[in-house]
Amino acid sequence: MILFPAPLRIPAFRAYWIARLAATIAQTAMVIVIGWQVYDIARETMSIQAAALRLGLIGVVQFVPLFALSLIAGWVADRVDRRRVARLALALEIACAAALAFANWFDLISLWWLYGIAALLGVARAFAGPALGALAPNLVPRAILPNAIALSSIAWQSGTVIGPAVGGYLLAVSPATPYAVSAFLFTLALIGLFRIGPVERPAIDRSGGPWAQVGDGLRYVRRNRLVLGAISLDLFAVLLGSATAMLPIFARDILHTGPEGLGHLRAAPAVGATLTAIWFAFRPLKYNVGLKMLVAVAAFGAATVAFGLSRSIPLSLACLFLLGAADMLSVYVRQSLIQIHTPDAMRGRVGAVSTLFISASNELGEAESGFLAALVGPVIAVVGGGIGAIAVVLVWAWRFPELRLATSFDPPDVVDASAKEL
C-alpha cells in the first residue's frame, strides 16, 4: 500500500475508484456497440450520409434527458445521500444493459430499441454524474484532492481504454455478449458503492424553494468567471472537435477496418489520456495551470485536424493518442478548478451544470458531427471541427483572462493567506 498514491490508501476512496472503473468500462463498451449497431443497421439500406445522420441521432436521444434532468439531479445530489443516488443510477444502467442483451439474444434489435435504451442511459447518466462527482471530495482530505481527481480520471480513462476494446472484441463473438458483460460490470460497480460507508453530508441551505436552490448552481457558475470559463471552454471545443463520434464511419468506410479496428481506434485516445492521468496522479500540476489548459485544448484541436486528414491506421492511432493526452490535461485542470473552487454544499448543483455542459459537448457534439458529415462528408466535418476548436481557444484566452492568469488550483484567498504566512 505504501507505493499507492495517498487517496488509494483510503478504503472508501478505493471502493469508489473500483466502482467508477467498472462502470466506465461497461458504459463505454455499450456506447461503442450501440453506435456500431446503429450505423451498421442503417448502412444496410442507406447511403453513408443517411447512415451518418442516424448515428448523429444517438447523441440527440442521450442529450435530451441529460438536458431535462441534470439540474434537478444536481439539486438531488446536494439534498439526498449521494451514494444512494449513484446506486439507483447504476441499477437503471444494469436494466438497460440487460434489455439490450435480451433484444440481441432473441434477434429483436432495431434502431428503435437502440434509441430507446440510449435515452434511458441518458437518464441514468444525468443522476450518476453529479452524485459521483460530488461524492469523491467527501472521501479524501482537501490537501490530496487534486491527486484524487487525477486518480478518478485514471479510473474513467482506463475504463474508456478497456471498454471500447472489450465492446469491439465481444461484439465479434455475438451482439448480445458485450451487453451481458456490461450488465455484470455495472453490478460490480454497484457492489463497490455499497462498500462505501456513511460520509459527511454538506450543510443544506433551506432558504428558498427547490427551484431557487437549483438556480443557485447556475448563478454560482455565472458569477465565478474562472469556473464559467473552464466549463464553457470544454463545451465549445469538444462540441466542434468531436472526432470520436465519427469513428464508426472512419472504421468502416475510410480506414476500412472492422469491429476490432473500431475498438483500437476508440481506445487510442483513452490510452493517451490514461498515461497522462497516471503522470498527474504522482506529479500533480502546481503552476500556470490555466495557461496549460488552454494549450492542451489547442493541441486537442490540432490532433483532430491531423486525424481527419489521415488515411493510415498507425497515423490515425497516433493522432487519437495525442488527442486523448491533450484532453486529459484539460479535464484534469478543469475538474480540479471546479472541485476546489466550489463549496461542498453546492458541489452537486455545480457538478450538474458541469455535467450538462460536458454532455452538451459530447452528445450534441456527436449529433453535430453526424449531421455535418451528412451534409459535407465525415472528413470535412472532422477537419473543420478541429480548426473550430483551435479558434475557440483563441477567443476564450481573450474573453476569459482569468484562465490565462490562473497560476495554481487554489482560490485567490488561499494563495494570499499562504503568502502572508511565508
Question: What's the pLDDT tens digit per position in 105-128?
Answer: 998 899 999 999 999 998 998 888
pTM of the entire predicted model: 0.70
Question: What 3 state SS string does 238-258 have?
Answer: HHHCCHHHHHHHHHHHHCCCC
CB atoms inside a 10 Å sphere around CB 418: 11
| Stronger pLDDT, 165 or 315, i.e. the higher one | 315
Residues 6+ apart with CB under 8 A from 282: 5
pLDDT number for residue 17: 93
| Stronger pLDDT, 156 or 119, i.e. the higher one | 119
Residue 226: pLDDT over 90:
no
Residue 65: pLDDT over 70:
yes
- Helices 177-194 & 145-173 angle (0-180, nearest 10): 150
Best mean pLDDT range from 92-106, 114-128, 168-182:
92-106
| Stronger pLDDT, 68 or 258, i.e. the higher one | 68
Domains of the chain (ranges plus CATH)? Answer: 6-196+210-421 (1.20.1250.20)
**Can you tell me the mean pLDDT for 411-418?**
44
Side-chain half-sphere exposure of 300, counting CA atoms within 13 A: 34
| Stronger pLDDT, 71 or 307, i.e. the higher one | 307
| Stronger pLDDT, 61 or 345, i.e. the higher one | 61
pLDDT number for residue 318: 94
CB atoms inside a 10 Å sphere around CB 345: 15
Range in 124-128, 256-260, 312-316 with the lowest mean pLDDT: 256-260
pLDDT number for residue 415: 38
DSSP H or E run through 258: none
Range in 54-58, 77-81, 210-214, 398-402 with the lowest mean pLDDT: 210-214
What's the chain's length in residues? 422
Burial of residue 263 (CB within 10 Å: 0-12, 13-18, 19+) is buried
Average pLDDT, the chain: 82
